[in-house]
Structures are given as C-alpha cells and as structure tokens.
Amino acid sequence: MATFSCSAELIPLLGGTNVSNGAAEFICSQFSAISAKLSDTTFAVDNTYLLFSAYLVFAMQLGFAMLCAGSVRAKNTMNIMLTNVLDAAAGGLSYYLFGFAFAFGAPSNGFIGRHFFGLSDYPAPSMDYSFFLYQWAFAIAAAGITSGSIAERTQFVAYLIYSTFLTGFVYPIVSHWVWSADGWANAGRSDLLFGSGVIDFAGSGVVHMVGGIAGLWGALIEGPRIGRFDRTGRSVALRGHSASLVVLGSFLLWFGWYGFNPGSFLTILKSYGQDGSAYGQWSAIGRTAVTTTLAGCTAALTTLFSKRLMLGHWNVTDVCNGLLGGFAAITSGCSVVEPWAAIVCGFVAAWVLIACNKLAEKLEYDDPLEAAQLHGGCGAWGIIFTGLFAKKAYVNEVYGGPAGRPYGLFMGGGGKLLGAQLVLILAVTGWVSATMGPLFWGLKKLKLLRISREDEMAGMDMTRHGGFAYIYHDGDDPSVKTPGFVMGKVEPGSPSPSP
C-alpha cells in the first residue's frame, strides 16, 4: 500500500507516461529498500547497545566478588568467592527456566507472568535475546547483594537454595510488577496507583531493596557471627582482610553501574524532538550517567568527612560503602531528575547508611558487608527521592503517557507519585519478607542454614573448601591456631620470614 501511494504521487511529477510508471515503481522500490535497511540498522544498534550494557552489568559480579572477598576475614575468602560464582551460575538456569517468564511473560494478571518458560516462543516481536541477557544480569545482582549479608557463617547448600529461589521466583515477581507492560505498578499504566504508577527506572526497589531485605532476614535468622558482639552487647569490629580488594570491587561496581542505570533505557536510537534534532534518548542516557556519577561521588565525600568527625580517621572501606549507597539510591530516579538533585540524593543516602549502621549496632544485627543497610536502606530512600524530585519534562520523555501525569512533589507535581512510591516500598518489603523469611527459617529448622561453631571458628575455607585461599595471619581473629597456616606480621627492621 505504501508503494502504491508513493508511485501514485510520483507518476504525475514524471510526466504520466508508461515510462513514468516504470520509473516511479523503481524509485519507490529503492526508497523501500533504504527504509528497510535503516530499520534493520536501528534494531542492530539498539541491540548492540543493550548487549554492551548487559556485559557491564555482568561485570558487576566481579565487583561483588572482590568487594565481598575483601570485606570478610581471610579464612573465609574461598567460600565467599565461590558463592558469588554460584549466584551467577545457579541464577542463570533458574532465571532461564522460570524467572524470565514470571518477570516478563505478558499478557498476565498484573502480578506474575506466565509465558516464555525456558524461553519457549522466544524471541518475541518486542523482545530479543539481548533483553533476556540484560535482565538475567539484573537478577543475579540481587542474589549477590544477599550473599554479603549472611557471609562467614552460612552453609553452602543454603546459598544454592536461596539463590535459586530468589532469582527464579522472588525477584522476578517484583520486576514484573514494575517493569512488565501489564504489571500493576508499571509507570505506563494510569488506572492504578493514583493515576501514576511507580517510577523505579533501574531498580532501587526492584533490585536493591529485594536483595537487601532478603539479606536482612537471612542475617536476622542466622544471628551474628561469633565474636561480633561481646557479652555486654558492645560491638566488636571483625574487619575484612583486604582493603585493596574492597576498593577494586567498588571501582568495578562503579564501572558496571554505567550499564545498570543508562542501560535501562534498553534502546538508544530514539528522538525526543523533530527528526534530525540533536536531542534524543542518547541525551537522556548521557544525563543518566551524569546523575549516577554525581550521586555516588557526593555520597562518598559525605561519608568520608562524616566518618572523620565521628571516628577521628579517614576510612577507605566506609567511603566505598558510602559511594555504593549513593549509587543504590539514585538508581530509581536517575533518568528523571536534574544533576543538582542527584547531589541531594547522594548526600542524604550517606546519612541514611550511617543511621542504618548505628541502628544495626544497637540491635546487635551483624551484616559483614552492610548489604541490608546499604541496598535496603539507601534503596528505599531512592524510591522516596524519586517521588520528591522527578522533573515533569523528563518523566514525560522517558515514560510518556497522558498529559498532566504526576511527577515529583518538590518539583510542583503533587503527592500522587510519592504515594505510589511509598506503596512500592511497602509491597516489596511485604513480598520479600513473606517469601524469604520463611525460607531462611525453614533452612534453620532443617539445620541447613548455619555452620557449626567449630567450623566457623576455624574458617570455612579449611573446613568446607579444602584449604585457605592463601597463607595469612588475621591479627583480629584469635581462632587461628594452626601454625602451618599462620604468617606472622613483618615489622620494619624485622628479619624476613622463613620460606
């Protein structure tokens, strides 16, 4: 039909002869071929962009592994590294078989998807394999968050069970609510949640709160590590063995976040103005990378100076956690806020993390990586922040929808978006608590959750994994008593240790 219309318009311009008819047909066929090529190029560029973003998000697994390894004592290094590998491997199969279908198997009832199990009937017209890979990288990130909360005291079989359950069922349900086209909290729907829907662009709630709350229940049910609190309830620091690995992991996570947040646009070749305009989705992607950067940097500096005033020294591990807290918070609204608002987000996120850590100490809650506080607390703040600072123009660009849709309260958009954001916080908290809490409790009753006291004192690397990751001396750990695996401290002027 398009070719006929094209020819009908060209024939009079070419003279209206039989030769003109043939010329018009030829010219229109060339236009059609060029249009098809441009369409193919658009799909190729968008899919390449999404695949590259997926690779960046997957690189965050290495960041989690390094961060976790550096944050635990040396005697548990092999254990925590293995759990990070298994989060990706077990999560890959469970997400392929069930998780992706539960998350994006529309049409659905708004609560849970029901198509694409085992990627059957896939790819679909609106989704390709690159989309599956990207969403799988998100799912295993949530499982990686949880592993840090229950580190240094959890049986390996428990890791396998919870990781499979989290990536195959718990996390996909929440992502379906928010990111599936027919999810009950999707921002594209105006029939629910105050005519607004939820704006959780890259997952402060969907990813970070899910992982953080799951870790919270795991750590609460297991209890603190031996020696973490003395008999009077006073906090005793069980420091990680390598600040170098913590910093390395933090930088790798920072790098991966540029796939996590900007990549959540999924496509890049989309104009927001007239054709040929220099302003389009590529501009929004750049802005999102900037807001992500500013929030993390602000949180890191706020933590640096706050901890200096509180403790009297500059602490690199605390700064790294503050940095990540800023990233977790901005993840929700990164695409719909101004750069200056991202600075506000990061500043508050640092104080949210500090407050959550203080509360954890008072409640004798032990989380070796501060994962529940960082991802759960800062993730919740990020959801609220979006309801306060989302800009009208950016919300309309990114999410579309009817004119007059709600936006940030402090930006003049009323309180409807904030109300929807608060509903998401309650829904995520309730769902994860109702699923992961009973799972961890059941594992505890079956004696599958926590290792024995003897194994915990000796370290899981030796008792569960065949040997230590490397020869070490943990000066803060009196449980290390095996001379064959101890290397004494080398002070200036001391003779070199025997080989």
Give the DSSP letter string of 78-127.
HHHHHHHHHHHHHHHHHIIIIIHHHHH--S--SS---S-GGGTT-SBTTB
| Banded model confidence at residue 6, pLDDT cuts 50, 70, 90 | low
Residues 6 or more apart in contact with residue 393 via CB below 8 angstroms: none
Mean per-residue pLDDT, 460-489 = 63
Question: In the chain, pLDDT over 90 holds for what percent of residues?
Answer: 71
Taking residues 481-489, what's their average pLDDT?
Answer: 43
pLDDT at 488: 42
Residue 372, pLDDT above cutoff 90: yes
Q: How confident is the model at residue 5 (pLDDT cuts 50, 70, 90)?
A: low
Q: Which phi-psi region, left, alpha or beta, contains residue 331 (left: φ > 0; alpha: ψ -120 to 50)?
A: alpha
| Residue 495: pLDDT over 60 | no
Q: Is a pLDDT exceeding 50 seen at residue 274?
A: yes
pLDDT of 474 reads 55
Query: What's the token pair of residue 242?
Result: 């390598």
User: Identity (one letter) of the amino acid at 236?
Assistant: V
How far apart are the C-alpha atoms of 370 and 373, rounded to whole Å?
5
Work out the number of other CB atoms within 10 angstroms of the CB of residue 494. 9
Domains of the chain: 50-228+239-266+279-462 (1.10.3430.10)
Is a pLDDT exceeding 70 seen at residue 11? Answer: no
Pairwise CA distance, residues 383 & 387, whole Å: 7
pLDDT higher than threshold 60 for residue 1 = no
pTM of the model: 0.88
Q: Which two three-digit tokens encode residue 5?
A: 């219309």
Confidence of residue 323 (pLDDT cuts 50, 70, 90): very high
| Burial state string for 110-124 with b = 16 or more CB within 10 A and e = fewer than 16 | bebbebbbeeeebee
Q: Is 229 helix (H, G, I), strand (E, B) or coil?
A: strand
With bands split at pLDDT 50, 70 and 90, how would you rate the model's confidence at 276?
Answer: low
Per the prediction, the chain carries an average pLDDT of 88
Phi, psi of 324 (to 5 degrees): -65, -30
The model's pLDDT over 50-105, given as tens digits with 9 standing for 90+, comes to 999 999 999 999 999 999 999 999 999 999 999 999 889 999 999 999 999 999 99
Residue 170 has pLDDT above 70, yes or no: yes
Beta bridge partners of residue 183, listed in sequence order: none
Q: Are 260 and 145 in contact (CB under 8 A)?
A: no
- pLDDT(483) > 70: no
